[in-house]
Amino acid sequence: MSRSRRIAKEMQDAQADPQSGIRLEMVSESDISHLKGYFEGPPGTPYEGGHYQVDIEIPSDYPFKPPRMKFDTKVYHPNISSQTGAICLDILKDTWSPVLTLKASLISLQSLLTSPEPSNPQDAEVAKHYMADRRGFDNTARYWAKVYAGADGGASATATTPAKTPDVFELYGIDRDSVKAFESMGFDQQRIVEVMRRIGIKKVGADGVEDRILEELLK
Amino acid sequence: MSDASDDFDDYDQGSEFDFDEESFGGSDYGDNEGFEEVKPESTKLKAYEVEHEVLSTAGIQQRQDSQIGQVAAILGLSRESVMVLLLYFKWNNDRLLEQYTEDPEVVLKKAGISADDDSNKKEYKIMSVVGFMCDICCEDRQGLETFALECDHRFCLDCYKQYVTQKIVDEGESRNIQCPGDSCSLVVNNEGIKLIVEDRVYKRYLTLLNRTFVQDHEHLRWCPAPNCEYAIRCDDVSAKDLKTVVPTVQCACGHRFCFGCGLSDHQPCICILVKKWIKKCEDDSETANWISANTKECPKCMATIEKNGGCNHMTCRKCKYEFCWICIGSWAEHGTSWYNCSRYDEKSGVEARDNQAKSRASLERYLHYYNRYANHEQSAKLDKDLYLRTEKKMTQLQSTSGMSWIEVQYLAQASAVLQQCRQTLKWTYAFAFYLEQNNQTHLFEDNQKDLEMAVEQLSELFEKPIQELAGLKVTVMDKTAYVNNRRQILLEDTAKGLHEGRWRYQVELK
């Protein structure tokens, strides 16, 4: 009972404050336990200009238990799964407090985009990319924002599939020439990309890396 | 449950261990609140016993209270605050006092206590505030009951109650229940919790507190027997002593266990060896048996080989060495003629057999100890059965021989002694397995042999038909006393040896 009252109030508050850039919507009128949240990618980050949609499930003992949130929009970020959109954020787990709100959580998500914590990653592949090659990471993250989150007037906010077929090299931050080199040996492009992603290599340069990829390709 | 000491003073309902005089004298079982127990002089501890005390829930509570009172007096803080502090410092007085004297404010803050605690302590109150709206449920009706800690993060009582209840019941938290306010680390103390939640939840909270109290104290341990609610206090033993002591304690429920590792009584074997032994048995025993019976090792690379058919000209799959299955010698020395292994004394064959004999011997040595260990373990498992049969025998004896109840108790005694001795014997084999062969070990093995012989004799007597048993009362009683005595001698000597560092082990103790 207190739960529906509280959620209604939270929705009202969010509506009354458009300045915050946070929007909350019910998925269906009859179900208050399933919401969608929307916010913009924070300026000064690779996510700038992107429109992000977050799926919000509200447990029955809310607000004593935290809401369950995950990104619907694909995001390239160390603390967000690039596959499922699952989020690693402390206030959605142990440090949740019943006085926190959906709006506050979404704002926290927004600031998570600004300051990733690669030492506590949700997506190891992305985190590795972030740590090893910050510039490459930014490019890939920006590309994802463009393709999936409609930055630069690209796709719409709700797109889970990109507006155009994305470029795999940009998408995974993998060096085009390195893949070409293996392609010229007669391997399938898709397979090369898959192997390089799996073992976390973006570019062929250092000694031994090439052999390692070849070894995997020949398995 | 009645006072723990009742169970032991009252002979009728005592467990099967009651008669065991050593366990009477050895320790103090009561949670004797309020009265002193008079100890007879003969209660001097034997070398293999450790002083311990059984604590009931009330006893644990009492110790908690007294520790809190003690610290409160030193620090001049309220009992509630001291409790929060002690919980934060895991009931470690010294660490708390040291850090507190260094910087009281920081310690209070870290533990989650408001700093103005001692000066003007406000009593917690449930009250209604005009124009209040609860931040959790958004309720704002007039006369709403609310609660807040010193931090003034005020919420309605229902929400507070639900929050605290969830922490206690769902998450099992008692140490650190913080104010629900965002990033407020003030702790809701005992007084606050009592005020807010229902009795049922408060009881649960106290149980959880007791649990953390026992877990935090090095010298306290819960009795591991199922459904047993007692804890044991044993002050003289700490983790580093476990190489020289086997601190066996007995709970008021009758369960005997090792205070060091929590496993059931494993005297005279020390914890470290017990762990090694159990692991070895899990890894090895059955496999080792089969290997011993069905295989030989390649004389070159020691790979274990099963011969599942074919001729005796073996070629090792692993190292390609060719050898003769019968004499284990190199096949080259057998020539190319058709097989006839009469070449028993060939050099390579002798060497190979030597090597093989060594590895077999170590396996057989293990199996020797394991089989005896397992045998006593098996017998120990039949204990319950044996005891039930004893009871039946006792009733039969009462009706056939006209003996009274008290007169047939010797059988119960004999049965219990048997059980305990088998438990001890079992672990002597694990212990002996790790001992180096020297004179000390021979003495140990002699003691072991004496005990084993005596146990088997008593066991045999015990199996006698009911008609004969009545006439054997004195014999059984004598034997029981003798067996028990042998056990004590063995334990006493081993314990002294441990203490003096007399035993030499084949393995490193780590």
Nearest Cα of chain A lies from the Cα of B104 at a distance, in angstroms, of: 26
Rg (CA), chain A: 20
Check residue B472 and give its pLDDT. Answer: 82
A142 pLDDT higher than 80? yes
Check residue B357 and give its pLDDT. Answer: 76
| Mean pLDDT, residues B98-116 | 86
- SS3 of chain A: CHHHHHHHHHHHHHHHCHHHCCEEEEEECCEEEEEEEEEECCCCCCCCCCEEEEEEECCCCCCCCCCEEEECCCCCECCECCCCCEECCHHHCCCCCCCCCHHHHHHHHHHHHHCCCCCCCCCHHHHHHHHHCHHHHHHHHHHHHHHHHCHHHCCCCCCCCCCCCCCHHHHHCCCHHHHHHHHCCCCCHHHHHHHHHHCCCCCCCCCCHHHHHHHHHHC
- The tens digit of pLDDT for each residue in B290-314 reads 676 677 778 777 777 877 766 777 7
| ipTM entry | 0.72
Check residue B310 and give its pLDDT. Answer: 61
| Inter-chain CB proximity B139 and A5 less than 8 Å | yes
Check residue A181 and give its pLDDT. Answer: 80
Asked if A169 and A64 count as a contact pair (C-beta separation under 8 A), the reply is no
**For residue A98, which residues of chain B lie inside 8 Å, CB to CB?**
136, 155, 159, 163, 180
B25 pLDDT higher than 80? no
B204 Cβ contact partners less than 8 Å away, ≥ 6 residues apart: B168, B169
Check residue B41 and give its pLDDT. Answer: 46
- The tens digit of pLDDT for each residue in A197-215 reads 777 777 777 667 777 788 8
B17 pLDDT higher than 50? no
- The tens digit of pLDDT for each residue in B458-477 reads 888 877 777 777 778 888 88
Single out the catalytic residue among B311, B324, B327, B421. Answer: B311
**B20 or B431: which leads in pLDDT:** B431
**B504 or A202: which leads in pLDDT:** B504
Note the CATH number of domain A174-219. 1.10.8.10
| Inter-chain CB proximity B182 and A61 less than 8 Å | no
A14 pLDDT higher than 80? yes
Give all domains of chain B, ordered by start, each with its CATH number.
Answer: 4-56+214-258 (no CATH), 122-197 (3.30.40.10), 382-510 (1.20.120.1750)
Q: Which of A34-38, B109-113, B139-143 has the highest mean predicted lDDT (pLDDT)?
A: A34-38
Residue A110: pLDDT band with limits 50, 70, 90: very high
A176 pLDDT higher than 50? yes
Distances (CA, A) of B290 to B93, B304, B372, B377: 56, 11, 17, 21
In chain A, ranges of CATH 1.10.8.10 domains: 174-219
Please tell me the distance from the alpha carbon of residue A69 to that of residue A57, in angstroms, as a whole number. Answer: 6
| Mean pLDDT, residues B7-14 | 39
B38 pLDDT higher than 80? no
Residue of B nearest to A96 (CA): B182
- Of B302, B406, B309, B445, the closest CA to residue B360 belongs to B302
Residue A166: pLDDT band with limits 50, 70, 90: low
- Of A212, A162, A208, A206, the closest CA to residue A192 belongs to A212
A88 classed as catalytic: yes
B379 pLDDT higher than 90? no
**B27 or A146: which leads in pLDDT:** A146
Asked if A52 and A73 count as a contact pair (C-beta separation under 8 A), the reply is yes
- The tens digit of pLDDT for each residue in B437-461 reads 888 888 899 999 999 999 888 888 8
Asked if B233 and B53 count as a contact pair (C-beta separation under 8 A), the reply is yes
CB atoms under 10 Å from CB of B326, counted, come to 16
Check residue A36 and give its pLDDT. Answer: 92
B11 pLDDT higher than 70? no
- The tens digit of pLDDT for each residue in B147-173 reads 998 888 999 999 999 999 999 998 888
Check residue B347 and give its pLDDT. Answer: 65
Asked if A217 and A195 count as a contact pair (C-beta separation under 8 A), the reply is yes
pLDDT averaged over every residue in chain B: 80
Asked if A83 and A72 count as a contact pair (C-beta separation under 8 A), the reply is no
Rg (CA), chain B: 33
**A100 or B24: which leads in pLDDT:** A100
| Mean pLDDT, residues B341-346 | 57
**For residue B184, which residues of chain A lie inside 8 Å, CB to CB?**
97
Q: 């179900």: which residue's tokens?
A: A31
Residue B193: pLDDT band with limits 50, 70, 90: very high
In chain A, ranges of CATH 3.10.110.10 domains: 1-168
Would you state the CATH architecture of domain A1-168? Roll (3.10)
| Inter-chain CB proximity B138 and A6 less than 8 Å | yes
**For residue A64, which residues of chain B lie inside 8 Å, CB to CB?**
136, 162-163, 166
Instruction: Tell me what percent of the residues of chain A surpass a pLDDT of 70.
Output: 91
Instruction: Tell me what percent of the residues of chain B surpass a pLDDT of 70.
Output: 83
